């Protein structure tokens, strides 16, 4: 088992190197890192920066320099804020991780519940209703869902109920300067998490339903039923455990894709995470941040894929080589 993990992890290293190199190269050719310095009065400043970033040498060398500095924890300084990029990234990554964690947990719970329920009532009214909802969720631009959620759940609902302040927050993750895990925090989480996960909840629940329907039709379930296994135990222990397998893989793969959704969600709800950092840096062409951002994100996606690979090996002994 350990060699299996080690081999997969090693295989991810070249992918990470090439992907991060491509990201680096892409940002280098599209965003001019000397743009800001160019405006300064010091005529030597541009030359010095070019020297430091090795801009006159091949891009591979520049990448090498960047990786060497990055391994020492130095990702450069933001041109927009003058802050070290590593500190900005760490702060943003922590905020985004919260969103991703809550999002994945909530989405998994809802999707599994909906999928199992639909599968048990396959063909019934509830199943049809949930299927329709899933199709709607998949066909919606996520940011539109977010805007509608604010309009309907925060603004309209507050008016209808005659409340003095909205039930759910939609700016940031805390009101004012608050921090920590509070009721206020949860109230600010609801709408962003919904916006982030509407698509994957729809997709995962369809997936869970399909795999549950398949498992429920398997002969071993009939055998268990014939033996008199109680229904709840049959569904949870016998059917669900096997039906969860395929979903786990899809989930781990999609967590990487969620990063795209994060950009939109953080933009709508003014959450200072990775997504907002990206959009703000792109607006002003903040090259050091953009380079680090794309590389870190690519690494994150690769890590998620690796987890998917490993999870599959853990859960399904057939994939695991001895």
Partner 1 sequence: MSTGHGADRRPGPSAPPGRRALRRFVRRRPAVVALVVLVLLAAACAAAPWLAPYPPNRQDLLLGPVPPNRSHWLGTDELGRDQLSRILHAGRISLSIGLAVGALSTAVGTAVGAVAGYAGRRVDQALMRVTDLFLVLPGIAILAIALERLGRSPAVIVLVLAGLFWMYVARVVRAEVLSLREREFVEAARAVGASGTRIVVRHLLPNVVGVVVVNAALAVAAAIIAESTLSFLGFGVQPPATSWGVMLADAEGYVATPQAYLLYGPGVAILLTVLSVNFVGDGLREVFDPRTAPR
Q: Which of 282, 310, 311, 315 binds partner 1 (CB under 8 A)?
A: 282
Query: Are 54 and 65 within 8 A, CB to CB?
Result: yes
Q: How far is the CB of 45 from partner 1 (least distance, A)?
A: 24
Q: Which residue has the tokens 């090259």?
A: 287
Measure the CA–CA gap between 152 and 159, rounded to whole angstroms: 10
Q: Which stretch binds partner 1 (CB under 8 A): 97-105, 113-121, 184-192, 287-295?
A: 287-295
Whichever of 19 and 107 has its CB closer to partner 1, that residue is 19
Instruction: Report if residue 290 touches partner 1, rule: CB under 8 A.
Output: yes
Nearer to partner 1, 259 or 312 (CB): 259
* C-beta closer to partner 1: residue 94 or 144: 144
Q: What ranges in 54-84 are assigned the alpha helix state H?
A: 59-71
Q: Does 264 bind partner 1 (CB under 8 A)?
A: yes
Sites for partner 1 among residues 150-209 (CB under 8 A):
150-151, 154-155
Q: Does 59 bind partner 1 (CB under 8 A)?
A: no
Pattern 11-50, partner 1, x by CB under 8 A: ----x--xx--xx--xx--xx-------------------
Own/partner pairs for 153-158, CB < 8 Å, 24+ apart? 153/190, 153/191, 154/191
Give the nearest distance from C-beta 16 to partner 1 in angstroms.
9
Q: Which neighbouring-strand residues pair with 77?
A: 84
Q: What is the DSSP string of 156-189?
A: IHHHHHT-SS-SS--SSSSSTT--SS-HHHHHHH
Closest CA to 281 of 271, 269, 268, 294: 294
**Burial class of residue 258 in the structure, from the number of CB atoms within 10 Å of its CB (0-12 exposed, 13-18 middle, 19+ buried):** buried
Binding site for partner 1 (CB under 8 A): 15, 18-19, 22-23, 26-27, 30-31, 135-136, 138-144, 147-148, 150-151, 154-155, 256, 259-260, 263-264, 267-268, 278-279, 282, 285, 290, 293-294, 297-298, 301-302, 305
């Amino acid at each position: 088992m350990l060699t299996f993990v080690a081999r997969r992890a090693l295989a991810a290293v070249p992918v990470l190197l090439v992907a991060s190199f491509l990201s680096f190269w892409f940002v280098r050719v599209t965003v001019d890192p000397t743009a800001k310095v160019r405006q300064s009065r010091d005529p030597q400043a541009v030359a010095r920066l070019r020297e430091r970033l090795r801009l006159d040498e091949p891009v591979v060398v520049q990448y090498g320099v960047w990786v060497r500095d990055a391994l020492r924890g130095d990702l450069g300084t933001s041109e927009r804020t003058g802050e070290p990029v590593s500190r900005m990234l760490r702060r943003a990554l922590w905020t985004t991780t919260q969103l991703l964690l809550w999002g994945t947990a909530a989405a998994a719970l809802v999707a599994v519940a909906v999928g199992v329920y639909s599968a048990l009532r396959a063909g019934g009214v509830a199943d049809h209703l949930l299927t329709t909802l899933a199709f709607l969720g998949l066909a919606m631009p996520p940011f539109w869902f977010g805007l509608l959620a604010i309009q309907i759940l925060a603004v309209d609902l507050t008016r209808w109920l005659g409340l003095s302040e909205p039930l759910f927050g939609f700016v940031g993750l805390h009101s004012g300067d608050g921090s920590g895990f509070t009721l206020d925090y949860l109230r600010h989480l609801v709408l962003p998490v919904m916006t982030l996960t509407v698509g994957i909840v729809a997709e995962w629940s369809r997936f869970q339903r399909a795999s549950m329907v398949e498992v429920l039709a398997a002969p071993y379930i009939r055998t268990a039923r014939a033996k008199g296994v109680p229904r709840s135990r049959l569904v949870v222990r016998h059917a669900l455990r096997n039906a969860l397998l395929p979903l786990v893989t899809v989930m781990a793969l999609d967590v990487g894709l969620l990063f795209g959704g994060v950009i939109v969600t953080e933009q709508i709800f003014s959450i200072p995470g990775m997504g907002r950092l990206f959009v703000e840096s792109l607006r002003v062409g903040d090259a050091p941040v953009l380079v680090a951002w794309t590389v870190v994100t690519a690494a994150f996606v690769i890590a998620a894929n690796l987890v998917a690979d490993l999870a599959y090996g853990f859960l399904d002994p057939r994939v695991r080589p001895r």
